[in-house]
Amino acid sequence: MSGVLLWVSCGPKENPISIVGLAGRGGRSQRRFGLCNGISFASFSPAVADPSRSSEERVYEVVLKQAALVKEKNKGTKRALNLDKPTVEGDLTHGDLLSAAYDRCGEVCAEYAKTFYLGTQLMTQERRKAIWAIYVWCRRTDELVDGPNASHITPKALDRWEQRLYDVFEGRPYDMYDAALSDTVSKYPVDIQPFKDMIEGMRLDLRKSRYNNFDELYLYCYYVAGTVGLMSVPVMGIAPESKASTESVYNAALALGIANQLTNILRDVGEDARRGRVYLPQDELAQAGLSDDDIFRGKVTDKWRNFMKGQIQRARMFFDEAEKGVSELNSASRWPVWASLLLYRQILDSIEANDYNNFTKRAYVGKVKKLLSLPAAYGRALLGPQKLTKMVTRSM
């Protein structure tokens, strides 16, 4: 199903070129991000280890772990690349090659996430390159199950991709894209867990096409989208003047990923149904007097409109939660995140404008509205945490 990167959208289906570079490549459209698990299905991540608790409780443990890493980094800890065992011909950690690797990541970001790429130009060069490297890894992971060759992907292919991830974090890159990410995680307090969790999300898509309730769907959304925020906050940085706790900023990043993914799901109901997939909570459908058959028929009824109103309201609640944290980011990092948030919120408006027909009409934000959103996002980005809080307080 869909995906976003770091609070970034992977965009509508564009160029189908695969950049995975793994035996058995990805395939379908472009959407997703986020997942977990160890080297094999036998190992468990903190996000799934205890099914007796809610998904939100389990995911929050991961949030706390990421926040703790940032605090530890502030004490001066730093990982280093392993230069003793390059895994490809030539030394990918050599300065010139590494610079070329980051440039290649930037080209991919510019091709598939134009608006976000534009926003990254305000970041410092080091932060910008690191975000590009994370974006490319997420996109490659997404393509494994949502790209041109998705029908050929097996659980073993995902296991190999996860083992390759371990090598990247240990300073043994396989190619230029890996080298950029390996360098990034050596410089910033980025933990491997969200990356593993994203891969787990890909595994879910191979074996699961229904979600019994929102608790199940929340965990899926964390895997394929919420993880991106957790990967990105260490690179984007928190504003020095911010009085918010590190945990609250990570929570906001998680909320934006969940909001974006829920929006993807609501936008793509018809498209997913044609693939035999329903990403809406089954118990909530039943409570509304609806079933999978109603979705497959694709007819907009009063029951459907009422159901969709509730789903859109929930997505907006997550966007509201996300807004609390965006202003706490480093000033140079806010613009692309605000742009992503404002643009994605407008997709929900478009669904309403289409009279909740997400069966045959695709909700999107037109170019004019996109252009108008960029100055608005930039204006908000200029406001520091305290100024934005005062502005919001006055408007209430």
CATH of the domain at 157: 1.10.600.10
Instruction: Please indicate, yes or no, if residue 36 is contained in any of the structural domains.
Output: no
Question: Are 193 and 65 contacting, i.e. CB atoms less than 8 angstroms apart?
Answer: yes
* 3-state SS record for 253-273: HHHHHHHHHHHHHHHCHHHHH
Residue 222 DSSP code:
I
| pLDDT number for residue 51 | 60
Virtual torsion, Cα 237, 56, 193, 206, nearest 10 deg: -120
Instruction: Give the separation between CA 305 and CA 309, rounded to whole angstroms.
Output: 6
Whether 49 maps to a domain, the answer reads no
Give the model's pLDDT for residue 247: 94
| pLDDT per residue as tens, the chain (396 positions) | 544 444 444 333 333 333 444 433 333 333 333 323 332 223 335 455 566 689 999 898 888 888 888 777 665 544 433 433 344 445 555 678 899 999 999 999 999 988 788 889 889 999 999 999 999 999 999 999 888 877 888 999 999 999 999 999 999 999 999 999 999 999 999 999 999 999 999 999 999 999 999 999 999 999 999 999 999 999 999 999 999 999 999 999 999 999 999 999 999 999 999 999 999 999 999 999 999 999 999 999 999 999 999 999 999 999 999 999 999 999 889 988 998 899 999 999 999 999 999 999 999 998 888 877 778 888 888 886 655 555 444 444
Query: Using CA atoms, how far apart are residues 176 and 333, in angstroms rounded to an integer?
Result: 25
Question: Pick from 247, 267, 240: which is nearest to 345 by CA?
Answer: 267
pTM: 0.81
User: Nearest Cα to 237, choosing from 378, 118, 99, 124?
Assistant: 124
Give which of 356, 235, 233 is closest to 303, Cα–Cα. Answer: 356
Give domain status of residue 163, yes or no: yes
Tell me what pLDDT residue 77 has.
44
* Stretch (H or E) spanning 378: helix 367-382
What is the sign, positive or negative, of the torsion defined by CA atoms of 235, 236, 241, 245?
A: negative
- Contact yes or no for 97/179 (Cβ under 8 A): yes
Cβ atoms of 381 and 338 within 8 Å: the answer is yes
Give me the number of domains the chain comprises: 1
Classify residue 125: in a domain, yes or no. Answer: yes
Q: What pLDDT score does 382 carry?
A: 84
- Structural domain including 269 reads 55-69+93-389
CA distances from 269 to 148, 304, 373 (A): 21, 12, 26
| CA gap 333, 127 in Å, rounded | 8
CB 282 within 8 A of CB 213: yes
Asked whether residue 245 is assigned to any structural domain, the reply reads yes
How far apart are alpha carbons 51 and 36 in whole angstroms? 15
Position 48 in a domain? no
Measured in degrees and rounded to the nearest 5, phi and psi for residue 79 equal -90, 155
Q: For residue 159, count CB atoms less than 10 angstroms from its CB and return exposed for 0-12, middle for 13-18, buried for 19 or more.
A: middle
| CA-closest candidate to residue 221, choices 272, 255, 258 | 258
Please report the DSSP string for 143-206 in residue order: HHHHSTTGGG--HHHHHHHHHHHHHHHTT--SSHHHHHHHHHHHHS---SHHHHHHHHHHHHHH
Residue 230 — φ and ψ, nearest 5°?
Answer: -65, -35
Beta bridge partner(s), residue 329? 238
By the 10 Å C-beta count (0-12 exposed, 13-18 middle, 19+ buried), 154 is classed as exposed
Q: Is residue 28 part of a domain?
A: no
